[in-house]
Amino acid sequence: MTTPEMISSIAELHDRLGQARDRAALTGGDTRIVLVPTMGALHAGHLALVRRAHTLGDIVVVSIFVNPLQFGVGEDLDSYPRTLEADLAALAAENVAFVFVPSAREMYPGGAIDTRVTAGPVGSLYEGAARPGHFDGMLTVVAKLLGIVTPDAAVFGQKDGQQAFLVQRMVADLNVRTTIEVVDTVREPSGLALSSRNRYLDDAQHTAAQALSAGLSAAVAAAPAGPGAALAAAHARIDAQPLVKLDYLVIVHPKTFLAVPGDYRGPARMLVAARVGTTRLIDNVSISVG
């Protein structure tokens, strides 16, 4: 087990990664660096990303930064779980080389910044409609992290499906020389997608939240009959749970992330978001329609 080196300075991280690349160059080799961006409060889903990262390169850098740009007014920025000591222990067990833990002042030394990445029309839909400006803030910090680390690859989770889509599109649109890898959602045995926010749920809410994944599973089974049948099957499972307050349930095209028409046939992705108590949860699944 390798104890990861915790770094809070951008300049120091540049120095450490530069040294690693120089050592490899001296022997005629190449050092592939892989980034796993997180906001901490790590769980088994994050660790699955780290394990995937190890298969893609030689040095794994995990960033832990609760990005204020992607939290709106009244959202849980101050109460978002911060478990740095436990996170470092978990990453040590995964042989992570560097853990980048910058402060907000380090990432945004001038405070508010004028230059931001805009997520475009898809960024205002679904999660973007519920959390205005969220995806602009997310893409801005991801762009900064890619610029700071200059990784060969970066790893994201499929649970945040709209986020993964927008990151992949940003990298393609801006010609960023980083490969984006997306890892399948890690779930509890009940089917509930792992999330740092699951810890906010009490026992009754935790049981109720399982209706989201149950609804998605029902949609997968019903999808051969068309989008309407898939949506109806998912609604039947989710709407039956009174503790779950549905925000959106939509079927989107995987290449555009726009809602598919009622006569659509082909690959698609169903997205769901809901509040269970005061906790907002999201999930998604790939479906084959028609």
Sequence ranges of the binding site for ATP: 39-46, 157-160, 186, 194-197
Q: Are 50 and 57 in contact (CB under 8 A)?
A: no
What is the rounded CA–CA span in Å between residue 6 and residue 13? 9
Q: Phi, psi at residue 266, to the nearest 5°?
A: 140, -170
Indicate the annotated binding residues: 39-46, 70, 157-160, 163, 186, 194-197
Indicate the annotated binding residues for (R)-pantoate: 70, 163
Q: Are 243 and 276 in contact (CB under 8 A)?
A: yes
Residue 46 falls in the annotated catalytic set: yes
Per annotation, catalytic residue among 14, 46, 54, 253: 46
Q: What angle do CA 71, 96, 157 make, to 5 degrees?
A: 45
Q: Are 265 and 241 in contact (CB under 8 A)?
A: no
Indicate the annotated binding residues for beta-alanine: 70
Residues identified as active-site: 46
